[in-house]
Structure 1
Amino acid sequence: MKIRTVETFLVQSSLQKPFVTALRTVHTVQSVIVKLTAENGLIGWGEAVPTHVITGDSIGSIRYAVERVLAPELIGQDVTKREILFERMNRALVGNPSAKAGVDLAIHDLFGKLCKLPLVQLLGGYRESLSTDLTVSVGTPIEMAHEAAKHLAKGFTTLKVKIGTGSLQEDRKRVREIRRKVGADVVIRLDANQGWKPKEAIRMIQQLEDDGMDIELVEQPVAAYDIEGLKEVTRQTQTSIMADESLFSTVDARRLLEIRAVDVLNIKLMKSGGIHEALKINALAQAFGIECMMGSMMETAVGVTAAAHFAASQSNITRVDLDAPLLLSKGFESGGLQYNGSAIELGSGPGLGFDSNRMGQWMKEHACE
């Protein structure tokens, strides 16, 4: 089955409230929807989001990469020969992980539809459902505690708390206030988004340990490039440390794993360039005895559905941070994943389970061109 056309569409979704981290403040989510159409009329869908401060991708660079660089490599090629497709893509384009991810997701969706199986089954079929955390964005200690309590009331028992801005004392107050508000049974994960220097991170995490805050893990406490600093934080603290912005490819994963720089890896399709590379990262981590989390950027349900299928297919992905669609002001009614509180249901439709007619209507409603 050969690919006939490759198209992109720009959509925009508003957030319920600004999403604040140590790296940026997001008010709306803009993304590029990738549409692959095969010669028999089957359609594969993917999503690529610009996250300038992490991947370096922009709306313009994504669309140019997909339409001008990758499309000529794909049109006329057989979607059943996926290794050839990914080889052609990587040979034609260095970097640009989000653009590659958008195409990669669409290829996998199209292949699933050809096989008439949900993607989760094609990739491994380990689980049928998932449970996600819900994020508390940066604010004052009282504001963050109030938001955490609202998440708890919705049935979420695992919270991902954004910190890393302002003083260490302010971050400590944020965590202590949230723990006081939600109680001892709620799982708390911290994400500093590179907000600390190594010595600051060690001091902060040790203080939280002494405070009895019972933090499950701390994500990317130091700068992405500072692998030695990351290793030192891991060595001098009892709390699990997870790499996020330090991890894009299998090359990054191998470096982190060989020196035992972290305890957990956070895989995101927009960083890895899609499912093809993400499978390799997860397999490498498993070989080293290191578990993985499945995360996402600020994406719509298109990209997050693909991440959920990938996460559910793999036994080594033991944690899930796929709440981005829950932060948007409008729901997604075009198929794909469904939320029931913290539970994520994948559905039984082929590929990623999207309804192409409803996808077309959704893109018209959210078009921003």
Structure 2
Amino acid sequence: MKITAIQTTEIRIPLRTPFKTALRTVDSVHDVLVRVQTDTGEVGYGEAPPTAVITGDTIGSIRNAIEEFIAPALVGMDVEDLDCVMTRLDRCILKNTSAKAAVDMAIYDLYAKSCGKPLYRVLGGAKKEIETDLTISVNPIPQMVADAHEAVNRGFNILKIKVGKEGLKDVARLRAIREAVGPGVVIRVDANQGWEPKQAVRIITALEDAGVAPELVEQPVDAHDLAGLAFVTSNVCTPILADESVFGPADALEVLRRHAADLINIKLMKAGGIWQAQKICAIAETCGVQCMIGCMLESKIAVSAAAHLAAARSVVTRADLDGPSLCSEDPYTGGPVFEGSRILMNEAPGLGITAVPGFED
């Protein structure tokens, strides 16, 4: 199964409501889609969002990296020689992790199809169903409370609350949400690098004292401030999840070596795809640390790839794969089924996605 062409297009999908964090506000998914074609007629699909504030990648840089560097390097290679393909993908261009991730997942899609199995089974097949949280964007308190109620009514038992823009005022916002949804709903807090280390300790301690009982706090401080992250981790009871501080395996190893976080959040767009993400899983397993699989503002193709990895590895104990649930529509055919908080893995080969807009030919 040799690669004959790698093509790109773009897709735009409106969100149900604007997505607001400490870093940005977005009202639609606008991503690059990838199709890898082979001499057998089989195709594989991938996707990458432009998340410049985190990965540095834009629509233009993603498409240029794929069309000008990655495609020429990979055309003619045999998909079934997976390690060689992934090694060349990793080395053909520096950084550009989102572009690499899109092509990586399309190659894995094809590789699993060559095995006649769904990708999660090829990767290890730990579970057939996973549960995701749903993100509540940072807004005035009444709006966040209303959004939390709506999420619970849609069947989500785990909420990821975006904060980090107003310091100690975040305590009042999180107390109001906890009072509104009751003790049975899991609350995850994501500060998106919005706090200073000592401020983070004060806020998290106040949340603990107020009975908010967050399951975890994600990336409370600047991504590059590992000393500050370690300070927060060692001075609060709530588990700390490293997100933007961990792109690839080397970052994960350094964070864990310094005891800078209790948990690791793996995102394919940061890691550069499934190939590198599996290395992070292996490091976490060795260190006895659990992982979350997360996503950027991605639609069903990229989130399906992440879901397959989450379903395959037992070290992944949490999922933040709500991209399709944030979208107002699903333009694709096939793949995992997203039913509220439940993601049911497909048994069709590969990612299971059989039709993608922009590639109908």
Give the TM-score of the pair, scaled to structure 1. 0.96
Q: How does 1:155-174 map to 2 (within 5 A)?
A: 155-168=155-168, 170-174=169-173
Structure 2 equivalent of residue 179 of structure 1: 178
Amino acid at match of 1:319: R
Does structure 1 residue 224 correspond to structure 2 residue 215? no
Amino acid at match of 2:333: S
Does structure 1 residue 201 correspond to structure 2 residue 196? no
Task: Give the CA deviation at 1:166.
Answer: 2.0
Q: 2:9 & 2:254 partners in 1: Cα distance?
A: 36
Q: 2:58 & 2:149 partners in 1: Cα distance?
A: 35
Q: 2:193 & 2:91 partners in 1: Cα distance?
A: 31
- Report Cα offsets for 1:99-118 as digits up to 9, x if no partner: 00000000000111111100
Q: How does 1:16-55 map to 2 (within 5 A)?
A: 16-55=16-55
Structure 1 equivalent of residue 64 of structure 2: 64
Does structure 1 residue 276 correspond to structure 2 residue 251? no
Contact map agreement 2:325 2:340 (CA 8 A) in 1: no
Contact map agreement 2:229 2:260 (CA 8 A) in 1: yes
Q: SS of the counterpart of 1:215?
A: coil
Q: How does 1:255-266 map to 2 (within 5 A)?
A: 255-266=254-265
Q: 1:255 & 1:270 partners in 2: Cα distance?
A: 19
Amino acid at match of 1:18: P
Amino acid at match of 1:131: E
Q: 1:11 & 1:153 partners in 2: Cα distance?
A: 29
Structure 2 equivalent of residue 90 of structure 1: 90
Structure 2 equivalent of residue 267 of structure 1: 266
Structure 1 equivalent of residue 315 of structure 2: 316
Amino acid at match of 1:339: F
Identity over aligned residues, as a percent? 48
- Report Cα offsets for 1:117-159 as digits up to 9, x if no partner: 0000000000001111111100111111111011111111111
Aligned residues: 360
Contact map agreement 2:324 2:338 (CA 8 A) in 1: no
Structure 2 unmatched ranges of 5 or more: none
Amino acid at match of 2:189: L
Amino acid at match of 2:24: R
Task: Give the CA deviation at 1:333.
Answer: 4.0
- Report Cα offsets for 1:151-178 as digits up to 9, x if no partner: 111111111000001232x211110000
Structure 2 equivalent of residue 7 of structure 1: 7
Structure 2 equivalent of residue 334 of structure 1: 333
Structure 1 unmatched ranges of 5 or more: none
Q: 1:208 & 1:274 partners in 2: Cα distance?
A: 35
- Report Cα offsets for 1:230-260 as digits up to 9, x if no partner: 0000000000000000010111001001111
Q: 1:212 & 1:119 partners in 2: Cα distance?
A: 41
Q: 1:3 & 1:271 partners in 2: Cα distance?
A: 25
Q: 1:188 & 1:71 partners in 2: Cα distance?
A: 42
Could you tell which deviates more after superposition, 306-315 or 333-342?
333-342
Task: Give the CA deviation at 1:353.
Answer: 0.3
Q: SS of the counterpart of 2:245?
A: coil
- Report Cα offsets for 1:160-214 as digits up to 9, x if no partner: 000001232x211110000000001110000000000001100000111111111
Does structure 1 residue 144 correspond to structure 2 residue 147? no
Amino acid at match of 1:79: V
- Report Cα offsets for 1:67-115 as digits up to 9, x if no partner: 1101111100111111111111222111010000000000000111111
Q: 1:15 & 1:153 partners in 2: Cα distance?
A: 18
Contact map agreement 2:13 2:328 (CA 8 A) in 1: yes
Does structure 1 residue 287 correspond to structure 2 residue 282? no
Structure 2 equivalent of residue 117 of structure 1: 117
Q: 1:36 & 1:154 partners in 2: Cα distance?
A: 36
Q: How does 1:339-350 map to 2 (within 5 A)?
A: 339-350=338-349
Q: SS of the counterpart of 1:15?
A: strand
Task: Give the CA deviation at 1:16.
Answer: 1.2
Contact map agreement 2:267 2:293 (CA 8 A) in 1: yes
Structure 2 equivalent of residue 76 of structure 1: 76
Task: Give the CA deviation at 1:25.
Answer: 0.2
Q: 1:346 & 1:323 partners in 2: Cα distance?
A: 15
Task: Give the CA deviation at 1:364.
Answer: 7.0
Q: 2:125 & 2:72 partners in 1: Cα distance?
A: 33
Task: Give the CA deviation at 1:346.
Answer: 1.5
Q: 1:167 & 1:203 partners in 2: Cα distance?
A: 10
Q: SS of the counterpart of 2:275?
A: helix
Q: 1:203 & 1:98 partners in 2: Cα distance?
A: 35
Q: 1:238 & 1:342 partners in 2: Cα distance?
A: 27
Contact map agreement 2:33 2:102 (CA 8 A) in 1: yes
Q: 1:200 & 1:80 partners in 2: Cα distance?
A: 51
Task: Give the CA deviation at 1:285.
Answer: 0.7
> Do the aligned partners of residues 364 and 124 (structure 1) sit closer, same or farther apart at CA in structure 2, a change above 3 Å counting?
closer
Q: 2:61 & 2:328 partners in 1: Cα distance?
A: 27
Amino acid at match of 1:104: D
Amino acid at match of 2:255: L
Q: 2:123 & 2:91 partners in 1: Cα distance?
A: 24
Moved over 4 A (4+): none
